[in-house]
């Protein structure tokens, strides 16, 4: 395992530990805040910018890195 991968794994393990200690109310508050932030960002974008962002999101979802991240997250469970 490379040093970069080891640091990424340590960071992710720490994030999972911290998330596990959150209450449902904390999780809901965080998700609502994220939704408000996303809505604010989207409201400032043109239709072309939103379409381009969606295209980028679709491309990123199809990349092998997403599968690698999902596999890593599954191993940490």
The pLDDT of residue 77 is 67
Two structure tokens written together for 49: 């910018």
Q: What is the pLDDT of residues 11-45, one digit of tens each?
A: 999 998 988 899 989 999 999 999 999 889 888 88
For residues 13 and 75, is the Cβ–Cβ distance under 8 A? no
Two structure tokens written together for 44: 């400032």
C-alpha to C-alpha distances, 46 to 7, 27, 35, 43, 73, nearest whole angstrom: 38, 30, 19, 8, 35
The whole-chain average pLDDT of the chain stands at: 87
Q: Which residue has the tokens 């999101």?
A: 57
């Amino acid at each position: 395992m490379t040093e970069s991968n080891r640091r990424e794994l340590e960071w992710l393990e720490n994030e999972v530990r911290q998330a596990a200690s959150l209450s449902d109310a904390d999780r809901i508050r965080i998700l609502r805040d994220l939704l408000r932030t996303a809505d604010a960002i989207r409201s400032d974008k043109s239709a072309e910018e939103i379409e381009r962002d969606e295209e980028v999101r679709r491309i990123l979802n199809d990349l092998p890195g997403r599968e690698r991240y999902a596999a890593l997250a599954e191993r940490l469970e």
